Structure 1
Amino acid sequence: MQLVASIKSFAGQQLRFEHRSTVLNCDMHFSLYLPPQAETGAVPLLTWLSGLTCTDENFVQKACAQRAAAEHGVAILAPDTSPRGESVADDPDGSWDMGLGAGFYVNATQAPWAEHYRMYDYVLEELPALVAAQHPVDLSRQSIFGHSMGGHGALTIALKNPQRYRSMSAFAPICAPLECPWGHKAFAGYLGEDRQRWAEHDSCTLVRGATQHLPMLVDQGSADSFLQEQLKTPLLESACAESGYPAMIRMQEAYDHSYFFIASFMDEHVAFHAGHCKS
């Protein structure tokens, strides 16, 4: 693990690293914010998953999360959104919703994606363990959150692994990939045509089958141009209501899909997770 950048921020350190991922079989970058409290002991770890076309740096530079992380004494880990490198497959048509920057946080089973696209295992297993081996973070106190495709990733990973996380949240998540064009394209490509495999990474399906409940917070902008066709937040609301899954799902009037929206409510999300990671 090689340090690429270290910048002081709110008395903590915003770090960026490069490393060789065994799971993804390629070189990767990730960012890690360590609050000042990490100088004296292990701190909770929040993992942030970004959306389509992003890298780890979008969140670091635009979300304004460091201030709240320093206030509450939590570290924030931001992985990239897909494997990278010349040998890594990309969408043959060059579109932005498949391939590089669009890993969808699943383990691909189909060629040519299966060789590298294992973002589920990377986020759940390899990267937190790598960070904890060299930095003062407490893996017994983890939470996860994200935006859009990353919101999908955060919710599904937490719903599938409730023993691993204290809480989950999302900004404008892709709530029902079984029912939207982004999900259809990515899941058919990465997982094949078996929709039962798709359902294993669909938040609405997972909520209905959940036997253990984690605290969930979802914020969605009412002016989000992707809301109706791609995100489908009402389907998640219905799934939670029908299954009795406790969730705080908030429609934020006039906000869109951008980082202006994310930054506006970031303090609340960090405080939400910090509250569940205190003990």
Structure 2
Amino acid sequence: MRVIFMGTPEFSVPALRAIASDHEVAAVYSQPPRAAGRGQKPRPSPVQAAAEALGLTVRTPERLRDPQAQADFAALNADVAVVVAYGLILPQPVLDAPRLGCLNIHASLLPRWRGAAPIHRAILAGDAETGVAIMQMEAGLDTGPVMATRRTPIGADETTADLHDRLAVIGADLIADVLPRLPLPATPQPKQGVTYAAKIDKAEARIDWSRPADEIDRQIRGLSPFPGAWCDIDGERVKLLRSRVVPGGGQPGTVLPSFTVACGTGAVQITLAQRAGKRPMAAADLLRGWTLPPRLG
């Protein structure tokens, strides 16, 4: 296959490498370098860095609505485009340009969790499983027909970071299986069971200890590492990054042994946390030389 690859973050990199190992990559599209770090120097995206290391041609247009950008895309004469968390809207001329259209690797079992934050939302909602879907792209938001899926359970202690890394590998394996078999039939998504994975708002990150322990545990794991669920400890905002539900009780916010905190019902034990300006640390290490107050805010 002659493939155009379109992606930006780290999640997209395993799929790029899998495709490049077996197919001709006509070009890699990624979002332009963004200012980052203390010096605010432009930094290429993870996909651009990986593509350049593989010796692939990289294009970083600001948008694809310009007729010249669309003509340049069509001139690549690709069999198919594979899109993985690219971050730009693809106009209809771009969707139509490759011979077999554009395929999207989406990190959910469509139609559940269409949209921007499917991994976070699956953990926050307490889903027992998730997976990856390969979808034929169309103009709607993740509405296209699905040609392949792969399911996986969500572990009881799994964070968004953990699940992100697993799904990236699953997506790479699945697209490697799909591409040699194209064209494949695609099944329209059912109208029942549609949910939308809205972008995570930082306002969702503050912990309310009056909520049940299982909800707080999912909040901690679902928002780890970004933006990071947090609570107030003696006036300091501390991120809580890993947890588990454990036996225990008391007034919500009461600190129990081993960095366990009473919730509205039940308790959660914090196993990884991050103080302001510090690196994440295991709870046992964090508590050496730091005494927690009787209650957390």
Q: Which has the higher helix share?
A: 1
- TM-score, normalisation: structure 1: 0.25
Normalising by structure 2, we get a TM-score of 0.24
Bigger radius of gyration: 2
